[in-house]
Structure 1
Amino acid sequence: MQPFTANTATSTVIVTGTLMIRDIPKRAGGSFKVGKLSTHIGQFEVKNPELDQYEAGTYSGNFCIDKIYPSHYVAGGKIVIEMRAVLSCFVLAGFDEDTGEVENSIEVDPIDEETSTVTVTPVTTVVEAAEDVAPASGDAAPVADDDASASDNDAADTDDTKAVMSVEEERVFREQQMDKDTFGEFYPLGAEVKLDVTVGRTKLRAQCDRLKSLGYKFVAARQVWVKAD
């Protein structure tokens, strides 16, 4: 059984325990996954991006804790303080669909936590930069050659005529382009796909959703997506 591995840890504690993964629905649609790790050294919240690949339930095994730190967020008019653990690897030994008794807590999507700290560059900065490189008033704008333009238009019309596709062909083409953008180096997809969990939560979720729609199923013991027969 191969372990999941993420960033290399400088100081790692390996413990035996259980990781309870819950599926949290969002008001705007969709859902996200969070985990609670129970070990002999304590209980910790887990917000690793790769949890979005897993089905909700309780997983037992050995877990590599890379970092433990206090964290907090505001939700529903309350400040929630929790101890979080970052897992750098884990080897799963068992799975139970039952998540047991779950306290009624308020969870915030980790993506929302990450985006709330992003600094946006003002648009005015970009506009000013564009004005700085504007041509002087004395410079004449290039004049398009009528014959060249007509020739280009004729060629474009010819290409468009050759490129006419049926509705079904256009749908397939658009899906292929979307999959290329979504999966990058993993496209075209094989019978098994092992995702790079460091690409970011948003892209990883998009990849997971697309794989599910294509009939793939995540095999937790091997951390790979397998195409259903």
Structure 2
Amino acid sequence: MALTTAHSSTSPIIVGGQLTLRTIRGRNGPFTVGRLTTHLGVFEVKDAELEQYPEGKYDGEFLIKYIYPRAYPTGGGMRFEIRASLDGMTLSGLDELSRDDAKSFAAQEVDPLDEELGTQPAASPGTTFQPVDVAVHASADPLIDTTPFGMDTPSAAIAAAGGSDSDDAALFGLLWPLEDSIKLDSTIDRRTLRAQIARLGELGYALDFKTQEWSRQAELQPA
């Protein structure tokens, strides 16, 4: 069982640093994990927001909401890490991920979707932290339904099959009809967010990491 004790302060802190993102293909499809390097230390980041960004090394300023230890079983043992939860970020540069950067991540990274669908431990006594909305991911395979019992989320088949306007309307909700530039809400459940990202790619959108907005690729090309 994974153990979590989270700590939050009355005001998040802003730090400069570099966020290294690695995309890993798991049983639920691709997922993204991150490592934030700052003068305060090095922290693992598993926020849903990261799902939108391709792997690479991003320079910028990061708003850290809280920092907490995490332990979970993997590969016949236990893995311990210190995680940071971000409340926002401003990215200013991007470098490609080197082979050494990719190898620096654990060989058996756990998909955040699997963590969120598993049994979550209670916070330690005295902890005042209240977790943000739990997010859930859509499986890339429409035959694999990872929706928790009783949770009403769009079908993964919407993104996988290139659905109709009504399917897209159900998937994107208040964002539909889509404008030329849109910003996704990463606080929705992770399953729906992953489905939205996949569908945007099919519809010809691309992410501008500096503005953190998705735009139709034609809009990104010079006139």
Q: When the two structures are superposed, what TM-score results if normalisation uses the length of structure 1?
A: 0.69
Moved runs in structure 1, 4+ residues, more than 3 A?
Answer: none
3-state SS of paired residue (1:117): coil
In the alignment, structure 1 residue 184 sits paired with structure 2 residue 186: no
What is aligned with 1:216?
205
> Matches of 1:51 and 1:197 in 2, distance apart?
9
Distance 2:60 2:75 in 1: 34
Moved more, 92-101 or 44-53: 92-101
1:200 is aligned to 2:202: no
**Structure 2 counterpart of 1:226, from 215, 219, 222:** 215
Structure number having the greater helix percentage: 1
TM-score (norm 2): 0.71
Matched to 1:25, the amino acid is R
Shift of 1:29: 5.5
AA matched with 2:58: Y
Partner of 2:51: 52
Stretches of structure 2 that go unaligned for 5 or more consecutive residues are 1-8, 121-147, 151-160, 219-223
- Which residue in the other structure is 1:36 paired with? 35
1:196 to partner: Cα distance: 0.8
- Name the aligned partner's letter for residue 11 of structure 1: S
- Please say which structure displays the higher CA radius of gyration: 1
Relative to its length, the structure with more strand (as a share) is 2
Which deviates more from structure 2 when the two are superposed, residues 198-207 or residues 103-112?
103-112
Q: 1-side partners of 2:91 and 2:99: how far apart?
A: 19
Aligned to 1:103: 104
- Aligned 8 A contact 1:22 1:99 in 2: no
Inter-partner Cα distance in structure 2 for 1:218 and 1:53: 7
Asked if 1:94 corresponds to 2:93, the answer is yes
| Cα deviation, residue 36, structure 1 | 0.2
Q: Give 1:121-160 correspondences, 5 Å limit.
A: none
Cα separation, 1, equivalents of 2:54 and 2:94: 10
Give SS of 1:211's match: helix
| Runs of 5+ unmatched residues, structure 1 | 1-8, 123-170
In the other structure, the counterpart of 2:117 is 115
Structure 1 residue aligned with 2:140: none
Tell me whether 98-107 or 45-54 shows the greater mean CA deviation: 98-107
